[in-house]
Chains A and B, each alone.
Chain A
Amino acid sequence: MLVDRQGQAMRLGDGSWVHLDEPVYFRMCVVPAATLTLSVDGPRGRELLTEQAAPSGCVDARLEGALLAYTFDRPGPHRFVLLDENTRELDALTLEVR
């Protein structure tokens, strides 16, 4: 995951923090190819971000062809979860929103 911090892309990791006004971007990796579901568990509950077919390797999360970003409306922990079509959890990462 990346965050747009004052116009500059910066990497995020599990436990990283972001500001409320900072959009985050996603690159999803899977081997072999699969249909991936990206969702977030936040203060508002679970929210589905995107569901897209991903080739084997890494692909940016997109919505209708455009690069997908996510912005926050509440502080607190947000856990982003990547699932495959069998709802198997491939990856998860928690951000602390300030």
Chain B
Amino acid sequence: MSPWLLAVGLSTAPTAWAGARGVVTGLPTPDGLAEAYAPRRVALVVGIDRYDDPALGTLRFAAKDAHDVARALEDPTAGGFDVVSLLSSDVSRAAFWSAFEAVTRTLHRDDTFVVYIAAHGTLDLRDGTELYVMGSDGRLDAVAHTGIALERLEDALAAVPARRRVLVLDACHTGQGRSRVSPSDLVLMEAFRGPVPPPTAARVSAAEVRLYSAHLNQPALEDKQLQNGVYTHFFVEAIRGAADLHGDGLVEVLEAHHWARDRTLDYTGGTQVPWMESKLVGREALYIAGDPAQRKAAERALVLGLEALPASAVITVDGAVRGAGAVEPGKRMVQVEVDGQAIVDTSVRVTAGEHLDVGRIARARHRHLLATLDAGVRPPSEWVAPVSAGLTGEWVPRDAGGVRPVLGLTAGYSVDDLPAGVLAMRTGMLWPMSAEAPLGVGPVAEVGLQWRVAPIYLPEGDDPGLLSADEKELQGAPSARLAMSLRHNRGALVWAAEPGASTFRTDEGWAIMPELRLSTGWLW
């Protein structure tokens, strides 16, 4: 402690503070100290549908969108936010910034802050691409002076003390849907060969997520049937639990966006393409609904991994065509078809909380080359050595589930005084063995050549016996092997045991002997 601090402490450290000024200790702790410091979830929700400028006109559902989002966020059974501040219908630029400042002033580091805006968007192309959302007093002929600049909004959001921040913007900048563009900018837009160039990307801060209902060159639509902006409609659905795919009582922001994005794409036939930017470091999670401290045990498993599949992939679970989402735990039939061809068709047992990655299953089923290192043991005999080692290569055609035919080549070497071995073609049937079915079983058969280097004996009738200890020849004889292949794989790593029997021709007829082959290898 510095002398200065000590002096301050001595002069202003009474246990009763009446009359004391400066640093004091020993005061009665105010009520709610811990609660006041506890992390809060705070939202500013804005929906602007009335505009003074006739060139902007009115929006039908922006205010309703804001009300719906606010209700969902403050609902203790849905968003469960501590503070939701709602501005709707007629909101000037000044009113927006005033509310933004008031709501964010007392935010603390561990708070979560969400700002949602449904409004007209526009752009200014005079000096690069500048994006704006418009307050009620905004004027299309003076956007730079009367609009809410997206860049400034993003900067303000980044400066908020709360560590976790989310911006949700249901507006667009195309001149269609929730957007109007000035005639001069329309002329500039039409002059571009191709889409309007994006603005310089504002850097997303750590633990920040920005969700946009439509991409730069696409409209954000309102829909009479939904009585909402399309993206907002599904975003509210997500907050209210539809996107709680695990059933653990929590909806992560990205889960909510994915839910709303997929349904917006489907509903608008791809006309409106939502997008997002985020920077979530490590295991940082940002929840739009539910309290992580109150997380329930997951009730459902999750089908995901569609990003790894072609856009034309059709996923069917238990006969129902579906996208990503939750499934009840238990045994499920999963099929994936691409352009009419089944690439996955298998039953999978899933447990609550498990992620069933269909992309990984499909990728694993693309592996169809197996290379193994083998070790064989059999009873001692005069024909072959009791221990052998070998290499096997197998081709397993692309698997859609069920029985997989196997073709391969195996080369073995017997560990004995004299070189000996086998070279054989291999075929079989295997069921099912893939990444999601780690056990496989099926018969395999090999037909080939048993070879050995042996001393040369004179034929019977001549002087029998060894010609010479040094005189040797390479001998070959047909051979066959029948075995049951039992396999276990963990990802691409495979272990196998193959009990069976070998037979090969000798001078005295066919020899038959049991053999156990143990293998380990890799699926490519």
Contacts and interface: CB of A to CB of B under 8 A. Distances in A.
Interface of A: 2, 4-5, 7-16, 23, 25, 27, 29, 47-51, 58, 62-64, 66-73
A73 B21 contact: yes
Interface string B81-111: 0000000000000000000010011111110
B24 interface: yes
Given A8-B31, A48-B2, A51-B5, A23 B24 contact: yes
Interface string B1-21: 110110011000100010011
B459 interface: no
B282 interface: no
A58 B108 CA distance: 11
Given A51-B2, A58-B109, A10 B36 contact: yes
Q: At the interface, is chain B mostly helix, strand, loop or mixed?
A: loop
B184 interface: no
Contacts of B30: 2, 4-5, 7-9, 25
A58 B17 contact: no
Interface string B26-50: 1111111101110000000000000
A45 to B, nearest CB: 12
5 contacts: A8-B30, A11-B36, A15-B101, A63-B23, A71-B21
Given A27-B37, A48-B5, A73-B22, A67 B106 contact: no
B246 to A, nearest CB: 28
Contacts of B105: 13-16
Nearest to A42: B22
Given A66-B25, A70-B23, A71-B20, 18 more contacts: A2-B36, A10-B36, A13-B106, A13-B107, A14-B105, A15-B101, A15-B105, A16-B105, A23-B17, A23-B24, A51-B5, A63-B13, A63-B25, A67-B29, A69-B17, A71-B21, A72-B21, A73-B21
Contact of A2 (B22, B37, B109): B37
A55 B167 CA distance: 31
Given A2-B36, A63-B9, A70 B1 contact: no
B36 A51 contact: no
Interface string B149-186: 00000000000010000000000000000000000000
A67 B109 contact: no
Contacts of A27: 37, 108
Given A2-B30, A69-B17, A47 B25 contact: no
Contacts of B24: 23, 68-71
B415 to A, nearest CB: 59
Given A9-B32, A68-B23, A70-B22, A48 B8 contact: yes
Given A48-B5, A71-B24, A58 B36 contact: no
Given A12-B106, A16-B105, A69-B17, A49 B36 contact: no
Nearest to A6: B30
A69 B13 CA distance: 10
Given A9-B30, A14-B105, A27-B37, A71 B22 contact: yes
A39 to B, nearest CB: 9
Contacts of B31: 7-9
Contacts of B21: 71-73
Contacts of A72: 21
A47 B5 CA distance: 9
Contacts of A10: 36
Nearest to A23: B27
Nearest to B108: A11
Contacts of B109: 29, 58
A67 B2 contact: no
Closest 3 CB pairs of A and B: A13-B105, A66-B25, A73-B21
Contacts of A64: 9, 13, 25
A23 B23 CA distance: 9
A60 to B, nearest CB: 8
A70 B36 CA distance: 17
Contact of B35 (A5, A9, A25): A9
Contacts of A49: 5, 8, 23
B192 to A, nearest CB: 42
B36 A47 contact: no
A78 to B, nearest CB: 11
A51 B24 CA distance: 14
A96 to B, nearest CB: 12
A4 B17 CA distance: 13
A9 B36 CA distance: 6
Contact of B32 (A8, A51, A66, A70): A8
Contacts of A62: 25
